[in-house]
Amino acid sequence: MKEEIKQRLQKNEIWQRGLYMLFFIFIYGVSKFVVIGVMLFQFLTIIVTGNVNEQLLRFGQNLSTYLYQVTLFLTYNSEQRPFPFSAWPDGVPNHKINYLDE
């Protein structure tokens, strides 16, 4: 059993994934502040104009989808690396998770 663990520790793919995960943990943390900014700006826009900002609404949806993609990657539910390693999302998530049959 120790030999199996030793072999896994020597695989470059595992360490490479770990580095990507550290990068996306940082991005996820920064993104929370962007979400708060979008929320506050949208709230102020509604107070001042009485309407939502459509461009900001679209960006908020795309940002939410992006954070969903990051979460899927970090939790091993997806091997697809999110932006900037793939295209920025446009719209609602379209990823389907394959749950294990019990």
Share above pLDDT 90 across residues of the chain, in percent, rounded to a whole number:
74
76: amino acid identity, one letter? Y
For the ranges 24-28, 58-62, 92-96, which has the lowest average pLDDT?
92-96
Q: Please provide the average confidence, as pLDDT, over all residues in the chain.
A: 89
pTM here is 0.82
Residue pLDDT, tens place only, 75-88: 999 999 999 999 99
Alpha helices by DSSP H, 1-102 = 2-9, 12-49, 54-74
Residues in CB range of 64: below 8 A, 6 or more apart: 35
Residue whose structure tokens are 């539910």: 77
Residues in CB range of 52: below 8 A, 6 or more apart: 42, 45, 46
Distances (CA, A) of 85 to 2, 12, 30, 34, 82: 35, 19, 17, 20, 6
